[in-house]
Structure 1
Amino acid sequence: MTLTAATDKETGPAVVVQDGRLLLSDVTTAITAPSDILVKVDHSAQNPVDVKLFDSGALPGGAQTGIDFTGIVYEIGDSVRDRELVGKRIAGVVKKGHGSFSDWTIAVDGYYFDIPANVRPDEASTLGVGCITAVLGLFLKLNLVFRDSGPNDTDNLSSKRSGACRGKAPIVLVWGGNTSVGRYTIQLATLAGYDVITTSSMSPAKELRSLGAKRTYFYQETDVINQIRDENGELELIFDCIGSKETEQQCIEAAGDGQTQYTTVRASCTGEGFPKNMSVSSINAFDIYKPGSPDLEVCQEYAPKVGEWLREGKLVPNVTLILGGLDQVAEGFQLYRDGILAGQKLVYENERTRKSQIGKILGGDVVEL
C-alpha cells in the first residue's frame, strides 16, 4: 500500500477526559521512545475496564481513553525489530498514557499482533485486552503448556479424579465463556490440548461449543454447581472470566476439596476467603507494561503465535457490534452500564466520526440497537 509522507507525530480527534466528562478533542500523538510505533487507528474496541476507569474517577483531566485498537503503522522508532512494519496492519493494546479512541495512537514493540488479510479490521480491534488476558491466565497463572510439546505438570491431572466427562486431557472450567476473555480462553485452552467446560446463558451455548467447549452449563440454573461436579468430578483448573464475588463463590463450590488452581480477571483478588486447597492468582493485563515482568515475557512469546493462529483460522476474534464513530463513545459507555452487550464487542469506526463534534462534550440519548 502507498502511505502519505509519514512523520513521527500526527494530530487528530481523540476522546479525552475533561471535568469528569468525555470530550472529543484534537490531540497530537508523537513517537517519543525507540520502541514506539505510530499507528493510524481505524477501529477501536470498548472494554469493561474503559468504563470502570472513567466512572471511578481514576482518569485525570486530559487523559485519553480506550485500550484496544487496530490500524495501519505509519512510523516506527529506531529499535523496533520489524523494520518492514510500516504499512502493515497491527492490533493490540496502546502504550501506557495513550488511548485507542483516537485517530492516532502509539503501540509498543512486542505488545502487538500482526493481523492477516482474512481478519476484518473491526474483528482485529477486539484482540487486545481480551486475548492478552486469556494468554496470561492460561499460560502464566495456570501454568498451562501445549500438551503435544512433551511431558508437563498438568499431564496427570485427569487421572487423579473421576467424573462422567473425564477424558485423557485435563479439564479447564472457564466461568463466563461468553465474555470477550472467555471466548479467547476457550479457544486457546482447546488449542493447547485441554478439555474445556464453560458457563453461559442458553443462547450462546452452541457458538461456544463451536469455539471448542466440550460442555456448556447454564449459570442461571439453581443446580449448576451440582451438574458440573456430577459430570466432571473435582476440578483442578478454573479460569474466572467474570471476577465478581458471586462467581468466586461459585468457582469455590465447583472446585471441590482437591488441589485446584484458580485464576480470575479481578486484578484486586488476593485469595482472602478462599479455602486452603485452592491456589489463587489474579490477572492484570497492565502488568505487561512492567519491564522484565513475567507477564511481559509471556505476552511477547505468544503475540507472534496469535497472528499465526488467526491466519490459519485456528483462532477467531470476538463478535462485533459497530456503534458508530468516536463521537459515540459516551453512548457506548452507557450501553455497557445498562448490561445489554453480552456476547458482542462494541467497536468504534473512525471513518464514522462526525467531525462537527470535535471540541464538544460527548453524551446524550443512548442509541437504539
Structure 2
Amino acid sequence: MSSNHAAWIDCKNSSPLTISPAPYPPTPPPANFLIIKSQAAAINPVDWFIQSPGNPLFSYLRYPTILGSDVAGTVVSSSSPQFVPGDRVVAHAFGPDRRSNSPSEGAFQEHVLIREHLVAKIPDHVSFEQAAVLPLGFSTAATALFLKPEQGGLALPLPASPRQEPKNQVVIIWAGATSVGSNAIQMAKAAGYEVYTTASAKNWEYVRRLGATEVWDYRSESVTGDIIAKLKSENKVCAGAIAIGAGALPRCIDILGGSRTVEGQPKFVSQVSGSKDPGEFLGLGAFGMVKLVVSMIWDGLTTVIKSKVNGVRYKFVWGSDIGDERNKEVAQQVWNVYLAQAMAKGEFVPAPGPQVVEGRGLDKIQEGFEICKKGVSAAKVVVLI
C-alpha cells in the first residue's frame, strides 16, 4: 500500500495545520475518478478564512479534514477513459464542497482523489506551479459565465477553441486582475464577447493581455458613469456583469441599470464576493464582529433596494457548483475540452501568475496562508509539494 501525508486542519479554527499521515485514496478509484500525485497546490482566500475566523458558509465541515481546491500533478491511477497514469493534469479538488465533505478529495495532500469532469491535461510548456493557480478561480468564473441564473450564472454560450465569432456584446467583469477575473476575461473572450473590466492602474496592461477590450481604475469616483457612457457611445449591448470584490455588486447593478441589455433577457449580475473583504474579519473581538455583521446587513438591504430601482437581478455564485452532477456536461466542456485545448494552443494562459513559497513540502502551506492574509496583487500563492 502506498503512503500518503496531508496538511490537516484538526478542528474549527485550529492553527497551524498538522502534517501527518492520511489514508491513501481507494485504489482503483471509483468510476469516473482518478488519483493524482500532487506536485503543486495553490491557496485561495477561503482556505485561510476557514482556519482563522471560521466561515459560517462552511459550518458543515467534519473535522479533522483536508482543505484546498487547487492542485496540479501527475495521474497515478484512473477509472476514467480520458486519463491514464503519467498524464500531467490540473484539477479542482472537490473535498471542501458540501457535496463531498471528504478529506480524500482535499488538495493539501500528496495523493488526491479527483472527479474526472474537473480535470484538464497540461501541455508541456506549462509548469505544475503555473497550472496550479487555475482551479477554483476557473470553476468560479465558469459558473458565473455559463450556468443558469438560478445558480448565479449569466447563461452565456460556452467558450470554444478557436474563439467563437464576436457578438458585439459586452460582459462587465469588475476586478479583472483577480483570480476569478483573470479566468473570466479569457473565457468570455473565447465565448465571443467583449470585456469591459476594472483594475488598479498598474494592472491595466495585464488585463488587456488577457483579452479585456476596455479597462478603468476601480477607485475612480466616475468609473460607473464612465463605463455606462462608453457602452452608450459605442452602441454596445451589455450581456451581464460579474461582481468580484467588496463593493462591486452595487456598482455593477448601477451599470446594468443604465445600459442597453439583451432584449428579452433579465438584467443580471453574478455576485462572486460578499460586501466585505475577508481580511476585515481578522483579529476582531466580539464587539467588532457584531459591528461588521450589522454593516453587512445594511449593505444587503441597500443593495436589494438598488436592484429593485434599477430592474436588475443578482445572485451569489457558489464557485464549485460547476462540479455538481447536474452541471457535469458544462464542466466537461469547459474543463476536459476547452481548457485543455486552449492551453495547448496558447489561447488560454494560466493567470494570475504563481507566487511560489520558498522551499517545498506540505509544511509550507501554513506559510502560504500567512502570505495570503497580508494580501497579494495579480498573483496567486502556490506551494510545491
What TM bracket, shorter-length normalisation? 0.7 to 0.9
Question: What is the count of residue pairs matched by the alignment?
Answer: 319
SS at structure 1 position matched to 2:66: coil
Distance 1:172 1:26 in 2: 46
Per the alignment, residue 360 of structure 1 pairs with: none
1:141-183 alpha-carbon deviations (Å, 9 max, x no partner): 212226999xx9xx9xxxxxxxxxxx96101110010101101
User: Which residue of 342, 345, 352 corresponds with 1:312?
Assistant: 345
Distance 2:350 2:43 in 1: 14
Distance 1:197 1:179 in 2: 14
Alignment of 1:12-31 (within 5 A): 12-19=4-11, 20-21=14-15, 22-31=17-26
**1:299 lines up with 2:334 in the alignment:** no
Alignment of 1:182-193 (within 5 A): 182-193=181-192
Alignment of 1:243-262 (within 5 A): 244=246, 246-257=247-258, 260-262=267-269
Alignment of 1:335-350 (within 5 A): 335-339=371-375, 341-350=376-385
Distance 1:148 1:119 in 2: 20
Distance 1:95 1:173 in 2: 28
Indicate how the Cα distance of structure 1 residues 267 and 91 shifts in structure 2: closer, same or farther if over 3 A, else same.
farther
Distance 1:220 1:257 in 2: 20
Per the alignment, residue 143 of structure 2 pairs with: 136
Distance 2:254 2:371 in 1: 32
1:182-206 alpha-carbon deviations (Å, 9 max, x no partner): 0111111112221111001111101
Paired amino acid for 1:65:
L
1:4-31 alpha-carbon deviations (Å, 9 max, x no partner): xxxxx63233111124121111212212
1:229-253 alpha-carbon deviations (Å, 9 max, x no partner): 22123844111132x3x21111122
SS at structure 2 position matched to 1:213: coil
1:109-154 alpha-carbon deviations (Å, 9 max, x no partner): 22211111121111111221111111221122212226999xx9xx
Per the alignment, residue 66 of structure 2 pairs with: 64
Indicate how the Cα distance of structure 1 residues 241 and 202 shifts in structure 2: closer, same or farther if over 3 A, else same.
same
Per the alignment, residue 214 of structure 1 pairs with: 213
How big is the shift at 1:257? 4.1
User: Percent of counterpart pairs with the same letter?
Assistant: 24
SS at structure 2 position matched to 1:280: strand
- Contact kept in structure 2, 1:111 and 1:300, CA below 8 Å: yes
Alignment of 1:67-146 (within 5 A): 67-77=69-79, 80-82=80-82, 85-96=84-95, 97=102, 98-140=105-147, 141-145=153-157
1:58-110 alpha-carbon deviations (Å, 9 max, x no partner): 44432002111011111123xx222x511101111124322212111111122
TM-score scaled by length of structure 2: 0.76
SS at structure 2 position matched to 1:102: coil
- Contact kept in structure 1, 2:70 and 2:107, CA below 8 Å: yes
User: Which residue of 230, 236, 241 corresponds with 1:238?
Assistant: 241
Alignment of 1:330-369 (within 5 A): 330-339=366-375, 341-350=376-385
Per the alignment, residue 278 of structure 2 pairs with: none
Per the alignment, residue 36 of structure 1 pairs with: 33
Per the alignment, residue 150 of structure 2 pairs with: none
Which runs of 5 or more structure 2 residues have no equivalent in the other structure? 96-101, 148-152, 262-266, 276-299
**1:264 lines up with 2:271 in the alignment:** yes
Distance 2:118 2:173 in 1: 25
How big is the shift at 1:267? 8.2
- Contact kept in structure 1, 2:146 and 2:157, CA below 8 Å: yes
- Alpha carbon RMSD of aligned pairs, Å? 2.7
SS at structure 2 position matched to 1:204: helix
Per the alignment, residue 355 of structure 1 pairs with: none
| Bigger share in helix | 2
TM-score scaled by length of structure 1: 0.79
Paired amino acid for 1:69:
V
Indicate how the Cα distance of structure 1 residues 218 and 61 shifts in structure 2: closer, same or farther if over 3 A, else same.
same
Distance 1:99 1:349 in 2: 16
Distance 1:62 1:148 in 2: 41
Per the alignment, residue 366 of structure 1 pairs with: none
SS at structure 2 position matched to 1:110: helix
Indicate how the Cα distance of structure 1 residues 240 and 311 shifts in structure 2: closer, same or farther if over 3 A, else same.
same
How big is the shift at 1:208? 0.7
Distance 1:314 1:289 in 2: 24
**1:50 lines up with 2:44 in the alignment:** no
Alignment of 1:138-177 (within 5 A): 138-140=145-147, 141-145=153-157, 169-177=168-176
User: Which residue of 318, 321, 324 corresponds with 1:290?
Assistant: 324
**1:10 lines up with 2:2 in the alignment:** yes
Paired amino acid for 2:195:
V
Paired amino acid for 1:290:
D
